[in-house]
Amino acid sequence: MSFRLTGLLALVAAALALLIAFADRDDEAVRARLEQTRRAFRFDPARVDGLIIETDGPAIECRHDGRRWRLVQPLAARADPLAIARLLAALQELPRGDVLLPPRRSGNPYAPYGLDAPRAAIVLLSGAATNRILIGRRTPLGDGVYVRQSEQAGLVRLDPALLDLLPTGADALRDRALLAGTPAAIDRLDVRGPAGYLQLARAEHNGWRLYQPFAARADSASVAALVEKLLACSVVQFVQDGVGDLAPYGLDSQSAVAAVLNTDAGDGSQVLVLGDPLPNDPALVYARLQAENSIYAVPRDVRQALLVAPDDLRDRRLPGLAPDDLRGFRVAAGETVLDFRQDADDVWRIAAPIRAPADADAVRELLRAWADVRLVAFENAATTAPPTVWSREFRLTPRQDRAPDIVLRVAPQPDDANACRVAIEGEASVAVAAPAHLLEFPLDPRPYRTRDVLELAPADVDRIRIAAGEATLQIDRDPSTGQWVPAAPWIDGLLAALAPLRAETILPAAAELPPAAFAKPHLVLTVRLRGASGIAATLTVGAETEPGGARLATLRGRDFVFTLPAWTVATLTPPETP
């Protein structure tokens, strides 16, 4: 019985839910109908493909061709889609006023309302449908205006704000934007001016390159700013339409400046030509789109921006030095080579002249120092100076698959020790770079190798021998119990310092050591590993680098010297026995 009751209650709940849903839907329908009745005109702006505005001047007609709005009358021109959208939206949102029915009498019943000869008319075209809105005179108190839709017998009194929607002329609906597209879609920019020809194109990885008047990397931020300025260029004044002779505007002279934009969509070029300043306003210059015969006035600073010198658009950075973008790099000076590579786990390793793990922080610091170098001058013209003898060659391997290596060649700059000469493969001219970091660092792998100079597993150590001053201490691990004999609790800290033993610094090969750096060692630590081979590692700790500071150290069989911090040396030194 209880199951039957439960099922009945579930059916009742479902029925109530359906009733509520239908009620909500009815409420939404009612709200929609109320919203429609609140509005003066019923139309869908998205379906409007034609707009005609008739006033006491020439009629203005706009048509949508499926892609964009265009002016048809009184002239053929591009229309401003935003201006038309704003007009249609404002017209749609006008609230309905009082509805009036003109008296049935002889003559024209609409004459008292100024609708026999309307002051203005708005025609909305949607396919074959035509919605003609007639605008008459103001109400006697001036607080409204009489309006009638041509297919309806009645008329309404609307807010006089309707009159403010009427454009004062065709120019109010003309598109003031000259060039279409977004900065990201532009993949080529050509500029031709009095100083010559400038050609830029987007390279791989969204960068930009100069191709004329010379081949070079371009500063992407500067090019993007120039493209954005062009796309933002808008008409300040519509000067003249139907122009055949361009000479009075300086648009066909040697002083004219032309900009050509191409998009990655392959939909053709947009050509903007900028001419002379306006005689009555030097802050404006004449402009023309190549596909049109109209003359516009635009801000003069757009023309000035296009007169940029090619060198000002160069990328002043050295290419390919971002640590996260590199898979490896190689520096060669004659027979001396310093080579770094990242393994499959993205860990930096020294590949030449030795094979050893690298200190990632040291490698990044080196790359950051190179990234601080800026190209400060360029030798674009031919020179009669002797050919440069390059001191070093840098080969940078990008992380990105199939990206070619970047090759730089570097030499000293005569008479300037703080600068160097740089040739970037693929670029036409030699550059002067500063500071001279590319020549200053030694091609010695030691400062870049990992500072973990020794790593032993504590469990594998079975003998420790320490010679400190005149005293020598040897401790062995009991193979049956694993305990140290004699017992020494401090050994755990010593073994922890060896897993791994981390140097404070690794000295370069050319570093000058004190004459008696290891003559009287401060400490000699020998650690033997268990097993038949009896492999051992011997650490020698020598003189202090400064009083109370780090000490010089070396490992037997290793060809480098390093320093250990004072606290590490203290951990490796057995405590004094009473």
Per-domain boundaries in the chain: 1-36, 45-170, 183-313, 323-444, 452-572
What Å distances lie between residue 199 and 194, 213, 215, 256, CA to CA?
14, 7, 10, 17
What does the alpha-carbon distance between residue 427 and residue 271 come to, in Å, rounded to a whole number?
28
Instruction: Note the pLDDT of residue 257.
Output: 96
The model carries a pTM of 0.71
Q: Is the CB of residue 394 less than 8 Å from the CB of residue 407? A: yes
Q: How far apart are the first and last CA of the chain?
A: 93
Q: What are the tens digits of pLDDT across the range 433-492?
A: 999 999 999 899 988 999 999 988 898 999 999 999 888 999 999 988 889 998 888 999
Instruction: Note the pLDDT of residue 1.
Output: 47
Q: What is the mean pLDDT of each run of 10 residues along the chain (578 residues)?
A: 59 64 47 50 89 91 92 92 91 83 74 88 91 91 86 83 89 91 91 93 83 91 95 94 91 92 78 95 95 93 95 90 87 95 92 92 91 89 72 93 90 93 90 94 91 90 91 91 89 93 89 87 93 79 93 92 95 79
**Neighbour order of strands in the sheet with 269-278:** 216-218, 208-212, 196-202, 186-193, 257-263, 269-278, 281-289, 295-299, 237-240
Structure tokens given for 433: 């770079």
Four-point Cα dihedral 457, 460, 465, 468, nearest 10: 10
Query: Taking Cα atoms as reference points, which of 318, 316, 365, 373 lies closest to residue 340?
Result: 365
Instruction: Note the pLDDT of residue 9.
Output: 63
Residue with tokens 């150590």: 461
Instruction: Note the pLDDT of residue 10.
Output: 64
Instruction: Note the pLDDT of residue 427.
Output: 85
Considering the domain delimited by 452-572, tell me its CATH architecture. Answer: Sandwich (2.60)
Q: Is the CB of residue 444 less than 8 Å from the CB of residue 353? A: no
Instruction: Note the pLDDT of residue 382.
Output: 57
What does the alpha-carbon distance between residue 480 and residue 204 come to, in Å, rounded to a whole number?
66
Instruction: Note the pLDDT of residue 36.
Output: 45
What does the alpha-carbon distance between residue 351 and residue 397 come to, in Å, rounded to a whole number?
14
Instruction: Indicate the SS3 state at residue 100.
Output: strand
Q: What are the tens digits of pLDDT across the range 149-170?
A: 877 778 888 888 888 889 989 9
**Alpha carbons within 13 A on the beta-carbon side of 363:** 29
**Neighbour order of strands in the sheet with 471-477:** 484-485, 471-477, 461-468, 523-529, 536-544, 551-555, 561-564, 505-506
